[in-house]
Structure 1
Amino acid sequence: MDRDENLAPDVRLDHGSRTGEPIIDCRDVAVRFKVEDGEVEAVRGVSMQLYRGETIAVVGESGSGKSVTARTIMGLLSKRARVAPGASIRLDGDDILKWSPHRRRMLRGNRLSMIFQEPLSSLNPVYSIGAQIIEAIRIHQKLSKAKAREKAIDLLREVRIPEPEARINQYPHQLSGGQRQRVMIAMALANNPDVLIADEPTTALDVTVQAQILQLIRDLQQRHGMAVILITHDLTVVRKFSDYVYVMQKGEVKEHNTTEALFGNPRHPYTRHLLGSEPRGHANPLPAESPVIMEGKDVRVAFMLKKGGFFSAEFHELVAVDNLSLTLRRHETLGIVGESGSGKTTFGQALIRLSDPDGGEIYFDGKAIHGKSREELRPLRSRMQVVFQDPFSSLNPRMSVCQIIEEGLIVNGIGTNRAERLDRVRDALTAAGLPTNILSRFPHEFSGGQRQRIAIARAIALEPEFILLDEPTSALDLSVQAQIIDLLRKLQDERGLSYLFISHDLKVVRALCHRVIVMQHGRIVEEGPVEEVLFNPKTAYTEKLVKAAFEVAA
């Protein structure tokens, strides 16, 4: 690359071959956030164009400004944000940055729609998913409640939600992460938008469903002439589904080109770094004679599902975890993989008693915990920690980073004074790969990947013996995934940690885990050492998962 060469001009490199005007044309978009000690420049001079019926991808590491750029287009920035006066975002030639707040509000969910990275924080926990989809439809379409409900069920069926007639009455917390993401996609597509912004749309989805959802978006795109802005860290998805790629780093576009040209001949060093990133390595050998730290015997969890209306209600039992057993040793990382809704997270949460199992026995460090009350479990909580799949919903939005991490230390009586606790907080942030000057900032001021690292820092600050990791790398870009894997390995070696690692990313599982359990419909269909299960699968289901993870990427 020539040092003086501009790899990111304001206008696309293929504009000469394009007919018609772009539906979205961003020029010199710059966004600053007010913070206690000044301002943070999140986006600097970003220009990009999107044409009807195509997909452009925006890629880059966590904190590169991808999501802030998308939220600027949607008009969803926080009150602390300031868009530079010289910026313009044209929709069919009309600068929407000059529109009134009311006019922009009517644009959202109608002509412009967005699928967010964290579905649980985007769905209202007090309303059923059906009520929320129906509301999205009726705001922009003159339909009766009955007709809107019919359309909502059709949308749920279209995004592959099983038993949509029953699921429509459920609440967000009753669905798996992947199912919640599909509900978000159904809501976004409810009014056939002109432009769909998909911010990590497959983050919470397993490998087999990722391709289905992206293919669904592509089919709808072709049917309605919809344009898509795809924000992702999954370069396999970018290569397969996008027409044009913008590469962002530290708030700036570093390079852009057609997908074929960018992957075939990346020019910028950062682009080459991104394309060369992938989880590598293997779990360090397990120490001989490692004692058992966690054991589950015949653990069962079931939920009651309701069908029909108030007077014709029918209930049936959904068994999410069907008499499962596992053993986890000290220093060991045990992976649990399977499709969305297979019961992975429910099983993990039952093992650490975040939810109450309907049957079975659970032992931690040789002591039975299946019959213990919340109060009796409290002394064990600092020894058992969890990093959730959706970091935004697990971090208190009203607390600063310092308060979030320090809270666990205070509750568990760790640290003799404030100064000692602050030292622990800073050590945890450093260990999680974060700077220590973010103590006064709040969760909404960080990217999804940065929030996930804050969640990891909160867990390790208590120096636990066991951590349940529920999709801890799902919100992270490829280059940061490798850092987190190295960090988890390092922490495991230094502190003798044991991990129960729930994931749909088999590449990460291969790099981090000693053994793996494969789940389907609440049952274990296969288990064994990682190398054996992933490279010599015994069941057709495991083989399908492995193919989706490794062969599609090849």
Structure 2
Amino acid sequence: MRWAMVFATPSIPIEKAGTMALTEKTSMAPDERHDHAVRTGSPIIDARNVAVTFKVEGGTVDAVKDVSFQLYRGETIAVVGESGSGKSVTARTVMGLLTKRATVAVHSRIEYDGKNVLKFSDRQRRALRGDRISMIFQEPMSSLNPVYTVGAQIIEAIRVHQKMSRRQAAERTLELLRQVQIPDPESRFNQYPHQLSGGQRQRVMIAMALANNPDVLIADEPTTALDVTVQAQILNLIRDLQQKLGMAVILITHDLTVVRQFSDYVYVMSQGEVKEHNTTEALFKNPQHPYTRHLLASEPKGMANPTPVGSAVILEGSNVRVSFMLKHGGFFKPRLKELVAVDSLSLKLHRHETLGLVGESGSGKTTFGQALVKLLTADGGEIFFDGEPIHARTRDQMRPLRSRMQVVFQDPFSSLNPRMSVGQIIEEGLIVNRLGDNKSDRLQRVEQALVSAGLPHNILSRFPHEFSGGQRQRIAIARAIALEPEFILLDEPTSALDLSVQAQIIDLLRKLQDERGLSYLFISHDLKVVRALCHRVVVMQHGKIVEEGPVDEVLSHPRTAYTERLVKAAFEVAA
């Protein structure tokens, strides 16, 4: 059941165009913290000269180069940087979760409570991991075991480290699920990961990480899959528990607004190196390194280009309804309860238009989007694509339309085949849909799609696990672009990307829309990205549409208290 331990894999940095110039200047990062003179006591974690290399085809990659950092009890340090900068590899080195292809330099030291954990035996590392040092992973679907209920997985995490009966562990599990604001925890206890939304799965991971009251919590993009209101709740929860338990936190993130609000000290990483570090206040007030200034200046900007007058409707849903049956009670006396995820909703998407679908985690926005493209079967209603009714079509009957409608999913690790190389993953869609005159033509299309998605074309032989979360998301976007579709369902496509890459993806999507007349249904909880990319926005809550209209109008002058709360959390609370 140790799913996360089996599949934990490193992120390999890729040098992106435009980044090198920002990182050429000598690092401004001494080994000691700038505030070490005013600190009392010893750091609970003191990492010195950490270097990690990975064996890859044709040589090795220096993923982490001479990184040093200190973490004191009760504080939060943030490690920030673009996708592939080495921040997650650094965290996994602390946890002892690197693959066999990784080599940690002999001169590296990571001291926990005065002891070098790099010298620990495997048994000692396992005893430490999940008990004294715990980690929240970036992608919950690849960290949770799909064949066990979420309750069983949290119970296991408790009982491995604590002498506790199964009943006591179950009571503790329910308490943890309530702490992380899981709705109806008694029902969720017996559900499987695939039955929860992305945000709910991440909250289960947080509950599991906090199960044994660790001394150190490593949070690797802990709120990536969460909407803005729950993000604030979760971060406040971690901070409250930190103050209550004296827990130290390493926060790995690309969200600088979160860093500014929740961290005490910041380390900025790029291409495996710490370029600059300082107290949060000092770093934001007076950044020294060009790369730090680049990060601080990165934010989704601009707005969608106007749609052509009189554009035809490409996708329409009328009174679409989707429900699920949830099981309650025990094995011998199960009770079923209907959950209406999409409650008779209607929308129209025009050609050349981007329609945003927003709402809190569990509001039904992803379910609605998947029902519209027939990835889920609706209980009722009508769906039309380019004027053709598709609501009654079977899976086989939908095949001719699949090249015209593509999907980019929220969790790229679970949507990319781990046994296929990047080249095979992207080419597969071309082969299935008979696009490309020959092998050479298909290869050219694959390489062009990668370049368009901001990736180098020479990564065709590498596999998904060799990339960071943000890089995997760009591979997923490249796979969709390669088929030259008319419509793309984008389910949180920028949630795993750092701010500067978000801006690149937004510009790319705008460019593709203008050049090819693409239409997007953009599902997101990031209202800053929605404002920059979408023409219209639909706000969902509990399976219903509570507000819709032009994006500027809805975000600037919300008519409902729910929308106002979302806007405040996105643009005010985290600022």
TM bracket, shorter-chain basis: over 0.9
* Cα deviation digits, residues 5-58 of structure 1 (max 9, x gap): 862001111111111111111111111111111111111110001011100000
Please say if 1:383 is aligned against 2:404.
Answer: yes
Counterpart in 1 of 2:219?
198
Q: Which residue of 1 aligns with 2:263?
A: 242
Structure 2 equivalent of residue 419 of structure 1: 440
Matched AA of 1:245: V
Q: Give the equivalent residue in structure 2 for 1:352.
A: 373
CA deviation after TM superposition for structure 1 residue 312, in Å: 2.6
Are the structure 2 counterparts of residues 297 and 498 from structure 1 closer, same or farther at C-alpha, using a change threshold of 3 Å?
same
Corresponding position: 1:155 with 2:169: no
Residue 169 of structure 1 and its aligned partner are, at CA, apart by 0.6
Paired position in structure 1 for 2:277: 256
**Residues 443-454 of structure 1: pairs in structure 2 closer than 5 A:** 443-454=464-475
Hey, what's the Cα distance between the residues in 2 that align with 1:119 and 1:310? 27
Report the AA paired with residue 200 of structure 2: Q
User: 1:203-352 alignment to 2 at 5 Å?
Assistant: 203-352=224-373
Q: Deviations over 1:184-208 (max 9, x none)?
A: 0000000111110000001011111
1:123 to 144, 169, 173: 144
| SS of alignment partner, residue 82 of structure 1 | strand
3-state DSSP of counterpart to 1:499: strand
CA distance in 1, matches of 2:26, 2:91: 27
Task: Tell me what 1:101 maps to.
Answer: 122
2:129 is aligned with 1:86: no
> Take 1:464 and 1:334, find their aligned partners in 2: how far apart are those partners?
17
Whether 1:492 aligns to 2:522 is no
Distance in 1, Cα, partners of 2:446 & 2:398: 24
DSSP 3-state at the match of 1:396: coil
Aligned match of 1:67: 88
Q: Distance in 2 between matches of 1:400 and 1:112?
A: 34
Shift of 1:4: 8.9
CA distance in structure 2 between the aligned counterparts of 1:140 and 1:113, rounded to whole angstroms? 12
Report the Cα distance in structure 1 between the residues aligned to 2:277 and 2:331, rounded to whole angstroms.
55
Shift of 1:500: 0.3
Instruction: Measure, in 1, the Cα distance between the counterparts of 2:466 and 2:97.
Output: 13
Q: Secondary structure at the match of 2:203?
A: helix
Distance 2:565 2:220 in 1: 26
TM-score (norm 2): 0.95
Instruction: Name the CA distance, whole Å, in 2 between partners of 1:98 and 1:323.
Output: 59
* Deviation digits for residues 90-144 of structure 1 (CA, Å, limit 9, x no counterpart): 1111111111122112211111110011011111111111111111111111111
| Partner amino acid, structure 1, of 2:559 | K
Secondary structure of 2:381's aligned partner:
strand
Is contact 2:311–2:350 with CA below 8 Å preserved after alignment? Answer: yes
* Structure 1 residues 439-471: Cα deviation after superposition (integer angstroms, max 9, x where no partner): 111111111111100000001001111100000
Using the alignment, how far apart are the partners of 1:494 and 1:351 within structure 2? 25
State yes or no: 1:394 paired with 2:415.
Answer: yes
Distance 1:5 1:11 in 2: 17
1:351-407 CA distance string (max 9 Å, x none): 001111111111111111110111100111111110011111111111111111111
Once the 2 structures are TM-superposed, how far is the Cα of residue 84 of structure 1 from its aligned partner? Answer: 1.1
**Residue 160 (structure 1) shift:** 0.1
Query: Per-residue displacement from partner, 1:313-367 (whole Å, max 9, x unpaired)?
Result: 2211110000000000111000000000000100000000111111111111111
Q: Which residue of 1 aligns with 2:10?
A: none
Determine the C-alpha separation between the residues in 1 that align with 2:530 and 2:490.
Answer: 12
Distance in 2, Cα, partners of 1:81 & 1:289: 56
Deviation at 1:553, TM superposition (A): 3.9
Aligned mates of 1:6, 1:145 — CA distance in 2: 51
| Consecutive aligned runs of 4 or more in structure 1 exceeding 4 Å deviation | 3-6
Q: Within the alignment, does 1:368 sit opposite 2:385 as a pair? A: no
Measured in 2, the distance between the counterparts of 1:197 and 1:209 equals 19
Do residues 429 (structure 1) and 411 (structure 2) align?
Answer: no
For these two proteins, the number of residue pairs brought into alignment is 553
Compute the RMSD of aligned alpha carbons. Answer: 1.2
Distance of 1:37 and 1:285 partners within structure 2: 47
Stretches of structure 2 that go unaligned for 5 or more consecutive residues are 1-21
Aligned match of 1:440 in 461, 465, 488? Answer: 461
Q: Superposition pairs for residues 503-518 of structure 1, below 5 Å? A: 503-518=524-539
Separation in structure 1 between the aligned mates of residue 58 and residue 381 of structure 2, nearest angstrom: 53
Shift in Å, 1:172: 0.7
**2:132 alignment counterpart:** 111
Aligned to 2:15: none
> What is the CA–CA distance in structure 2 between the aligned matches of 1:5 and 1:387, rounded to whole Å?
38
Identical aligned residues as a percent: 78
Q: Which stretch shows the higher mean deviation, 425-434 or 28-37?
A: 28-37
